[in-house]
Amino acid sequence: MDLVLALVIITVGIALFFDYTNGFHDAANAIATSVSTRALTPRIALTMAAILNFVGALLGVEVAKTIKDILKGFDAVAAPEHALTIVLSALVGAITWNLITWYFGIPSSSSHALIGGLIGVGLAAGVTVDWDKVIDKVAIPMILSPTIGFCGAFVAMTSIMWIFRRRNPHQINRGFRFAQVLSAAALSLGHGLQDAQKTMGVIVLALIAGGEHTAANDDIPLWVVIAAASAISLGTMSGGMRIMRTMGRRIIAVDPPRGFAAESTAAVVLYGMAIYAHAPVSTTHTMTSAVMGAGATKRFSAVRWGVARGIIMAWIITIPAAASVGAITYFVLRVVIPGN
């Protein structure tokens, strides 16, 4: 086996491992509120999320194409070993940040960790970063999606409170526990639709670097779609209990109506951004903001803003942190891997 083929296999394998970490890191996004309100047991919730992550990953590839095109002129990198080193370094940067934030129970964005890794390595390697795409498809949606999530969940929960103001609270909670099963399912499907596609885009970059795919070909091979869908699904089955506790309890004690409002709003944002904007938005950012918005309808002081502030700080530093790790990894691997 020659070096280029070996590097392609290693890079694809690590990309799928990233997808797996994305699954266990972000599993909490879709199901934390449902588990905390006892609408679903953890085992049933994780199983449902894993199945729907897989199905969601099969529903589109436009976000994958956006990720693939962040590094402009990537196919012009002369040496395939060098091109594969770039992709591999970006993945290591993203995975490292994922594992750090998972360990500390911080719901940061796997999506932005990957994008940060690509940007950092692109700058370190002298590959042109498509800043127009980064601004239009990453930066603007990064601000819009949590803003819409917060405001949408606040409005949804305010409407629920007004519509059901004369109903028995016990009956309302019981009814919304059933509704949460549907909203959690919708959010799990949206998570698969958004997050698995990002790995597909990186795998295609690796295939382009190794000469197994052409940059002009916008098609995503079926085996790449199936592999990415399977990896994120397996990762989801592995858990994510640390972050689940943060999402379900530490931000605010969520009740069934607020859980439903947050989940359904976040699902709508994910579908809209994936289908209409083709933007790789963060499931984590969107859902966390929606939980805050729904919780703020109790009273603003009900939200534990100290916890929220720490989460927002993690959002801000995710891209530069992953970019830094990716750039450092690039300089190390360029020395270690022959042909650079």
216: which residues sit within 8 A by CB, 6+ positions away? none
Q: Comparing C-alpha atoms, which of 331, 329, 318, 339 is closest to residue 116?
A: 318
Residue 281: pLDDT over 50: yes
Residue 76: pLDDT over 80: no
Angle subtended at Cα 213 by Cα 211 and Cα 219, rounded to the nearest 5 degrees: 175
Which pLDDT score is estimated for 248? 47
Which pLDDT score is estimated for 149? 93
Residue 27: pLDDT over 70: no
Half-sphere exposure at residue 96, Cβ-oriented, CA atoms within 13 angstroms = 19
Alpha helix locations (H) across 219-304? 222-237, 241-245, 256-272, 283-295
166-170, 237-241, 327-331: least confident range: 237-241
Which pLDDT score is estimated for 157? 96
- What are the φ/ψ torsions at residue 41 (nearest 5 degrees)? -80, 155
Residue 78: pLDDT over 80: no
Cα(326)–Cα(117) distance, rounded to whole angstroms?
Answer: 5
pLDDT-based confidence at residue 307 (cuts at 50, 70, 90): low
DSSP assigned state of 78: S
pLDDT-based confidence at residue 73 (cuts at 50, 70, 90): low
Which pLDDT score is estimated for 284? 78
Q: Distance of CA 153 to CAs 146, 230, 257, Å?
A: 10, 31, 11
Which pLDDT score is estimated for 250? 53
Note the pLDDT tens digit of each residue in 178-214: 999 999 999 999 888 888 888 998 999 888 888 887 7
**Residue of higher predicted confidence among 103 and 246:** 103
Which structure tokens are listed for 143? 């601000």
Note the pLDDT tens digit of each residue in 121-136: 999 988 888 899 889 9
24-28, 294-298, 332-336: least confident range: 24-28
Helix (H, G, I), strand (E, B) or coil at 129: strand
Helices (H) and strands (E) in the chain, counts: 13, 0
Cα(38)–Cα(29) distance, rounded to whole angstroms?
Answer: 16
Determine the residue type at 192. Answer: G
Domain ranges of the chain: 3-336
Query: What does the buried/exposed string (b/e) look like for 77-113 if buried means 16 or more CB atoms within 10 Å of the residue's CB?
Result: beebbbbbbbbbbbbbbbbbbbebbbeebbbbbbbbb
Q: Distance of CA 155 to CAs 81, 229, 251, Å?
A: 52, 33, 19
pTM of the model: 0.83
- What are all long-range contacts of 100-103, with beta carbons under 8 Å and residues at least 24 apart? 101/25, 101/314, 101/318, 102/21, 102/24, 102/25, 102/240, 102/242, 102/243, 103/242
Which pLDDT score is estimated for 257? 94
Which pLDDT score is estimated for 258? 92
Task: Count CB-CB contacts under 10 A for residue 307.
Answer: 17
Residue 306: pLDDT over 50: yes
Note the pLDDT tens digit of each residue in 226-252: 999 999 998 888 765 555 555 545 555
pLDDT-based confidence at residue 107 (cuts at 50, 70, 90): low
155: which residues sit within 8 A by CB, 6+ positions away? none
Beta bridge partners of 129: 71
- Do 29 and 283 contact (CB within 8 A), yes or no? yes
Residue 67: pLDDT over 60: yes
Which structure tokens are listed for 86? 């770039």
Which pLDDT score is estimated for 195? 84
Q: Distance of CA 39 to CAs 101, 106, 111, 255, Å?
A: 27, 24, 28, 10
